[in-house]
Amino acid sequence: MNSGKVYLIGAGPGDPGLLTVKGRDCLALADVVIYDYLANPVLLGYARPETEQIYVGKSRGQHSVPQEEINQLLVDKAGAGLQVARLKGGDPYVFGRGGEEAAFLRQHQIPFEVVPGVTAGFAAAAYAGIPLTHRDTTTSLALLTGHERPERKLSSLDWQKLATGLGTLIFYMGMSNLKMICEQLIKHGRAADTPVAVIQWATLPRQRTLTAPLNKIAEQVAAAGMEPPAVIIIGEVVRYREELRWYDNLPLFGKRFLITRPRAQAATFVALLQAQGAETICIPTIEIATPEDWTPCDQSLARLGGYHGVILTSANGVEAFFGRMKHLGLDLRALAGVKIIAVGPKTAKEIEKYGLSPDLVPQNFRAEGVVEELLAAGVDGKRFLYPRTAIARELIPDSLTAAGAEVDAPIIYRTIATLEKRDMIRHLLESGELDAICFSSSSTFDNLQAMFGDELKTLQGGTKFFSIGPLTSGTIRKHGFEVALEPEQSTLDDLVGAMVDYYKEP
């Protein structure tokens, strides 16, 4: 039998940043990824595009694929010679049935490796501001499951020892039995006023933490409507939460934003927002496409050495420009003596990835800034290449041409509307689940407007519209909508900074 190998990978508790480096590397090598309900789907981005992805998730009362079938699936895929990444929430060997899967693989002589993950109990405590041990409080803790095999009852636990012999108790999967757990602990000697924390969706921006005494927590959890997935922490260490909480004190914690820019360009924006505690949903309203006809662009690139300067005004334009150069067999030598002009610092950083430092980055990060500084330096008799998007304004070519320059402005990429996630955006707007939609270009808003037409005004409800700069804001207002926020400088860093200021308590 031509056997592959199975990697039982702990995906961590939810925050994709808590995946281990080894787990990430195994995902990158996998031919197949088999993942669970509690494994953050963002992690699938570490796999190769051609990697097969199979969802076998389980949630309370719903089993997508029975465990026996998951076991057999692992054997079948690895037995076919494939490298299999089995992505499991938390740690595979902490209430994750990883031991059962490993034993089944061993029985069928399938090689496997276990990649530990950050278990939910430890992560939930850390993100809620609760030290599980503290030398002034307790030096012992226990990990327990509140949901055992159906034929076994929680009453079979040694409640006397749990109640009086251990400091901190961490219950996984105990929400449906929370009341009984509390009653048993109090009955067997645990103080009724022992502090308890219930942490739902730990390490994610939707995290909720509720604290109450042992004799009142079940009632308060029910009143708050808290449901699984959640971790229950019982012990005196919970009292440290108010002093040590940090995650839910981040400035954008609990806020949910829709990101409309293309997925490939959204990563930096998402990282900036998540660092401030925000939850982000990426649903692009545009896609990047190649020109319908490459001829004008290729003709311009063939005579690169004849230009005084190349003007690049977006990260997409930079990627398309250097990508097309490579396609035509051109390298950086073709740009010898040609000045590189970037519209702003973000575009400049993209250019630097290709080994070049821009000769000009205007103080005003807009096309107007490029025009102003070029005209100040003099453009009469000079020739410029301005590779652009199909919907770019004519400001740069018109202004420079009027001043005596010659400008070639071929289309190097297009933005096209995508309707793929229209229903998902509708649901988010109708349910009021969004605090704001962030627009990074006029086209991102134009295409959202095209999706819903006049109905967008009704759907918007209380959702705010945030704009990266004056051009995008002008487009939003042209359609009759209010712009709630616009940063002073048209950069993602400034937009996130403005969002933090916007939500500061007065």
pTM: 0.73
Terminal Cα-to-Cα distance of the chain (whole angstroms): 68
Q: Which of 314, 341, 318 is nearest to 442 (CA)?
A: 314
**Sequence spans of domains, the chain:** 5-117, 122-249, 256-285+418-502, 289-415
- Domain 5-117 CATH assignment equals 3.30.710.10: no
pLDDT in tens, the chain (506 residues): 467 999 999 999 988 889 999 999 999 999 999 998 877 877 888 999 899 999 987 655 455 688 999 999 999 999 999 999 999 999 999 998 999 999 999 999 999 999 999 999 999 999 999 999 999 999 999 999 886 554 455 667 889 999 998 999 999 999 999 999 999 999 999 999 999 999 999 998 889 999 999 999 999 999 999 999 999 999 999 999 999 999 999 999 989 999 998 777 788 898 899 899 998 888 888 888 899 999 999 999 999 999 999 999 988 899 999 999 999 999 999 999 999 999 988 899 999 999 999 999 998 878 899 999 999 999 999 999 999 988 888 999 999 999 999 999 999 998 877 766 788 889 889 988 899 999 988 889 998 998 899 999 999 999 999 999 998 999 999 999 999 999 998 888 999 999 999 998 76
Domain 122-249 in this protein, CATH class: alpha beta
Element (H, E) at 344: none
Convert 304-333 to b/e letters by CB count within 10 Å (16 or more is b). Answer: beebbbbbbbbbbbbbbbbebbeeeeeeee
Sign of CA dihedral 314, 319, 323, 326: positive
* pLDDT on residue 150: 44
- In angstroms, the CA 411 to CA 317 distance is 9
HSE-CB for 193 with a 13 A CA cutoff:
1
Contact 102, 112 (CB under 8 A): yes
Same fold, 122-249 and 256-285+418-502: no
What is the rounded CA–CA span in Å between residue 441 and residue 316?
12
| Single-letter amino acid, residue 457 | K
Q: For the packed helices 422-430 and 442-452, what is the interaxial angle rounded to 10 degrees?
A: 80
- What's the pLDDT at 63? 55
Return the number of other C-beta atoms located less than 10 Å from residue 485's C-beta: 18
CATH 3.40.50.970 fits 289-415, yes or no: no
Residue positions annotated with a catalytic role = 36, 58
Give domain 256-285+418-502's CATH architecture. Answer: 3-Layer(aba) Sandwich (3.40)
Helix ranges, 378-491 (H): 395-402, 422-430, 442-452, 455-460, 470-478
d(CA 437, CA 464): 6
**pLDDT of amino acid 246:** 95
Q: What is the DSSP string of 47-109?
A: S-TTSEEEE--EETTEESS-HHHHHHHHHHHHHTT-EEEEEESB-TTSSSSHHHHHHHHHHTT
Contact 358, 335 (CB under 8 A): no
Dump the DSSP string for 260-312.
-S-HHHHHHHHHHHHHTT-EEEE--SEEEE--S--HHHHHHHTTGGG-SEEEE
**Which of 310, 308, 307 has its CA nearest to residue 320?**
310
Under 8 Å between Cβ of 75 and 110: yes
Whether 184 contacts 159, CB under 8 Å: yes
